[in-house]
């Protein structure tokens, strides 16, 4: 079978790989996407337990990729405030302090993936191989990457991008090492109904075992992510509904009254990972293939979307000036841009984890002081919020406020 020629082959059609494929549209590059599994069709009548809290930067990116309208028409859940607290002090953020209607939206992962997948399939310049998996990869001295799929089809590309998640095969083929540590925690997720309406507030309580997030859904329910030590997570999974609701009510200090109903309880292991490099000649990593962070700030896929937009910007600029998309000079621009930002976020999450996952009274004092000072310090709080929701920072053009024109070259 003859080899088919591409400039960029993306391995992995999760949320990040699909966003990258869309961001490359119209950029003068021949793009293919390989995904092992077709997305499960999203169903309106079933609220999924895997959701993402999307920043305003991610929303802007999805608008510019042309999918936000379809997401809104299906189901997105906006929130206008964030309240985080532990046993002592707390901190509040409100959208009106930034002059914005919302601080972000909760969206089901399955809906995001399905909507992005439909858009990629509808884009004539992207070739989708799904379901399919890469069986073999070989990079020649001339920089060509030869790829064989498990159904025998063969592709040839200048660049192979790993958007294939935490256990990325592309990372291995590229010979890129990994730093990782296991939090020995699991994230228990579920959809719950409480006595009181959430009032469009995303809440997070920091507990010594790990944080509990109550994410507001459009129908008045909440999606929870409760990070717990492994044995406690196991115990929570095994509880009957009544005991589970009681435990959740205690953990949330009944902030929304009693928990009256829950469904779709499940748990996911939590670990931190960072690839030692994001690129090597002919290869690049985006999303969870490059970094996995603790879900306590709900930033994982948001960072992945910024990787996708950043890499697309660098590749399209390279194509425009006749440079090789798989060349190290091109790829290093992307790595320099995104790795530092992601490392900062990962360190911040580790710091939070260290500060909060402990009953040590000194750490308790630091927490309370930090909360109280930040809550009162207007400009500091505003700055923090602007970064967290994606109004500030060195954002790719597609995610920036104002024009989506890349303007200056990175
Ligand atoms: C409990 C929990 C809560 C979270 N909450 C949030 C949140 O609120 N906000 C947020 O931003 N993030 C959150 N995250 C993180 C977020 O879910 C991830 O960052 C995100 O899913 C990563 O997307 P991805 O596309 O990079 O990878 P994945 O979602 O892992 O997608 C990888 C894709 O590649 C495919 N694939 C893998 N291997 C191959 C192969 N060899 N060949 C072909 N295809 C392959 C897979 O089928 C999959 O479709 C949370 C994570 C957890 C665990």
- State the pLDDT confidence band at 379, using cuts at 50, 70 and 90: low
Instruction: Find the mean pLDDT for residues 289-305.
Output: 90
Instruction: Kindly state the percentage of the chain with pLDDT values over 90.
Output: 75
Contact by Cβ (8 Å): 164, 17: yes
Contact by Cβ (8 Å): 254, 214: no
Q: Sort strands 3-5 and 154-157 into parallel, antiparallel or unpaired.
A: parallel
**Angstrom distance (rounded) from CA 128 to CA 137:** 18
Q: Which of 54, 233, 288, 291 to mutate to test the pocket of ligand 1 (most atoms within 8 A of CB)?
A: 288
Q: What is the radius of gyration, based on Cα positions, of the chain? A: 22
pLDDT value, residue 237: 97
Q: Which of 165, 226, 271 to mutate to test the pocket of ligand 1 (most atoms within 8 A of CB)?
A: 165
**Angstrom distance (rounded) from CA 48 to CA 264:** 8
Q: What is the pLDDT of residues 57-69, one digit of tens each?
A: 999 999 999 999 9
Tell me the pTM.
0.93
Instruction: Find the mean pLDDT for residues 70-77.
Output: 97
Question: Does the structure show a pLDDT above 80 at 195?
Answer: yes
The CB of 34 under 6 Å from ligand 1? The reply is yes
Q: Which atom of ligand 1 is nearest to the CA of 55?
A: 11
pLDDT value, residue 364: 59
Instruction: Find the mean pLDDT for residues 43-47.
Output: 92
Question: Does the structure show a pLDDT above 60 at 408?
Answer: no
Preceding amide of 131 cis, omega within 30: yes
Q: Which residues contact 291 (CB under 8 A, 6 or more apart)?
A: 273, 274, 275, 303, 342, 346
The CB of 388 under 6 Å from ligand 1? The reply is no
The CB of 165 under 6 Å from ligand 1? The reply is yes
Which CA distances in Å does 409 have to 128, 292, 320, 397? 30, 28, 12, 11
The CB of 163 under 6 Å from ligand 1? The reply is yes
Residue with the larger pLDDT of the pair 370 and 38: 38
Residue with the larger pLDDT of the pair 386 and 28: 28
The CB of 314 under 6 Å from ligand 1? The reply is no
- State the pLDDT confidence band at 394, using cuts at 50, 70 and 90: confident
**Could you tell me which CATH class the domain 3-47+109-180+272-399 is placed in?**
alpha beta
Question: Does the structure show a pLDDT above 80 at 384?
Answer: no
Ligand 1 centroid to Cα of residue 409, in Å, is: 30
Q: Which residues contact 358 (CB under 8 A, 6 or more apart)?
A: 208
Helix axes 361-376, 378-389, angle to 10 degrees: 100
Q: What is the pLDDT of residues 92-151, one digit of tens each?
A: 889 998 899 999 999 999 999 999 999 999 888 899 999 999 999 999 999 999 999 999
**Angstrom distance (rounded) from CA 198 to CA 218:** 10
Number of Cβ within a 10 Å radius of residue 354: 10
Ligand 1 centroid to Cα of residue 304, in Å, is: 9
**Angstrom distance (rounded) from CA 278 to CA 275:** 6
Give the distance from CA 256 to its chain's centroid: 27
Q: Which atom of ligand 1 is nearest to the CA of 163?
A: 26
Q: If you take atom 37 of ligand 1, which residue's CA is the nearest one?
A: 164
**Angstrom distance (rounded) from CA 152 to CA 134:** 10
Question: Does the structure show a pLDDT above 80 at 350?
Answer: no
Question: Does the structure show a pLDDT above 70 at 5?
Answer: yes
Q: If you take atom 21 of ligand 1, which residue's CA is the nearest one?
A: 301
Ligand 1 centroid to Cα of residue 268, in Å, is: 12
Contact by Cβ (8 Å): 188, 49: no
DSSP collapsed to 3 states, 25-90:
CCCCCCEEEECCCCCCCCCCCCCCCCEEEECHHHHHHHHHCCCHHHHHHHCCEEECEEEEECCCCE
The secondary element (H helix, E strand) that includes residue 22 is: helix 15-23
Which range, of 87-101, 245-259, 281-295, averages the lowest pLDDT?
87-101
**Angstrom distance (rounded) from CA 130 to CA 407:** 35
pLDDT value, residue 44: 93
> What single string gives the DSSP state of each residue in 86-155?
-SS-EEEEEGGGGT-S-SEEEEEHHHHHHHHHHHHHH-TTEEEE-S--EEEEEE-TTSPEEEEETTS-EE
Q: Which atom of ligand 1 is nearest to the CA of 53?
A: 8
The residues that bridge with 274 in the sheet, in sequence order, are: 179, 291
Which range, of 144-158, 275-289, 302-316, 384-398, averages the lowest pLDDT?
384-398
The CB of 110 under 6 Å from ligand 1? The reply is no
Ligand 1 centroid to Cα of residue 12, in Å, is: 10
pLDDT value, residue 398: 95
**Angstrom distance (rounded) from CA 356 to CA 225:** 16
Instruction: Find the mean pLDDT for residues 282-293.
Output: 97
Q: Which residues contact 403 (CB under 8 A, 6 or more apart)?
A: 397
Instruction: Find the mean pLDDT for residues 183-192.
Output: 95
pLDDT value, residue 345: 76
- State the pLDDT confidence band at 409, using cuts at 50, 70 and 90: very low
The secondary element (H helix, E strand) that includes residue 361 is: helix 361-376
Per-domain residue ranges for the chain? 3-47+109-180+272-399
Ligand 1 centroid to Cα of residue 354, in Å, is: 24
Q: Sort strands 201-207 and 210-216 into parallel, antiparallel or unpaired.
A: antiparallel
Question: Does the structure show a pLDDT above 80 at 378?
Answer: no
- Burial-class residue 397 by CB neighbours within 10 Å (0-12, 13-18, 19+): buried
Q: Which residues contact 240 (CB under 8 A, 6 or more apart)?
A: none
Q: Sort strands 31-34 and 8-11 into parallel, antiparallel or unpaired.
A: parallel
Q: Which of 9, 10, 11, 12 to mutate to test the pocket of ligand 1 (most atoms within 8 A of CB)?
A: 12
The CB of 133 under 6 Å from ligand 1? The reply is yes
Contact by Cβ (8 Å): 161, 311: yes
The CB of 181 under 6 Å from ligand 1? The reply is no
Which range, of 113-117, 172-176, 209-213, 387-391, averages the lowest pLDDT?
387-391
């Amino acid at each position: 079978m003859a080899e088919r020629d591409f400039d960029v082959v993306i391995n992995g059609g999760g949320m990040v790989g699909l966003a990258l494929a869309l961001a490359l549209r119209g950029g003068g590059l021949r793009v293919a996407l390989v995904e092992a599994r077709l997305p499960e069709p999203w169903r309106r009548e079933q609220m999924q337990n895997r959701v993402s809290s999307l920043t305003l930067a991610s929303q802007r990116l999805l608008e510019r990729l042309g999918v936000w309208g379809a997401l809104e028409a299906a189901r997105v859940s906006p929130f206008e405030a964030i309240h985080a607290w532990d046993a002592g002090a707390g901190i509040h953020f409100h959208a009106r302090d930034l002059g914005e209607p919302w601080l972000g939206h909760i969206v089901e992962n399955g809906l995001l993936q399905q909507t992005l997948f439909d858009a990629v399939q509808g884009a004539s310049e992207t070739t989708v191989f799904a379901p399919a998996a890469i069986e073999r990869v070989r990079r020649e001295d001339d920089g060509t990457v030869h790829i064989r799929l498990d159904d025998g089809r063969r592709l040839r590309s200048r660049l192979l991008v790993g958007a294939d998640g935490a256990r990325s095969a592309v990372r291995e083929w590229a010979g890129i090492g990994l730093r990782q540590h296991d939090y020995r925690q699991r994230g228990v997720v579920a959809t719950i109904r409480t006595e009181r309406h959430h009032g469009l507030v995303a809440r997070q309580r920091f507990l010594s075992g790990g944080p509990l997030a109550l994410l507001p859904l459009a129908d008045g329910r909440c999606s929870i992510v409760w990070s717990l030590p492994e044995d406690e997570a196991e115990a929570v999974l095994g509880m009957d509904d009544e005991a589970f609701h009681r435990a959740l009510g205690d953990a949330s200090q009944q902030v929304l009254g009693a928990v009256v109903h829950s469904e779709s309880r499940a748990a996911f292991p939590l670990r931190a990972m960072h690839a030692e490099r994001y690129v090597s000649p002919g290869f690049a990593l985006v999303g969870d293939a490059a970094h996995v962070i603790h879900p306590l700030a709900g930033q994982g896929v948001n960072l992945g979307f910024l990787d996708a937009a950043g890499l697309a910007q660098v590749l399209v600029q390279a194509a425009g000036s006749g440079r090789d998309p798989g060349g190290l000079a091109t790829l290093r621009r992307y790595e320099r841009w995104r790795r530092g930002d992601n490392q900062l976020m990962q360190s911040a999450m580790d710091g939070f984890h260290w500060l909060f996952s402990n009953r040590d009274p000194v750490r308790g004092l630091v927490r309370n002081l930090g909360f109280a000072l930040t809550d009162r310090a207007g400009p500091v709080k505003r700055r923090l919020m602007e970064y967290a929701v994606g109004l500030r920072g060195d954002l790719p053009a597609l995610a920036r406020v104002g024009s989506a024109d890349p303007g200056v070259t990175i």
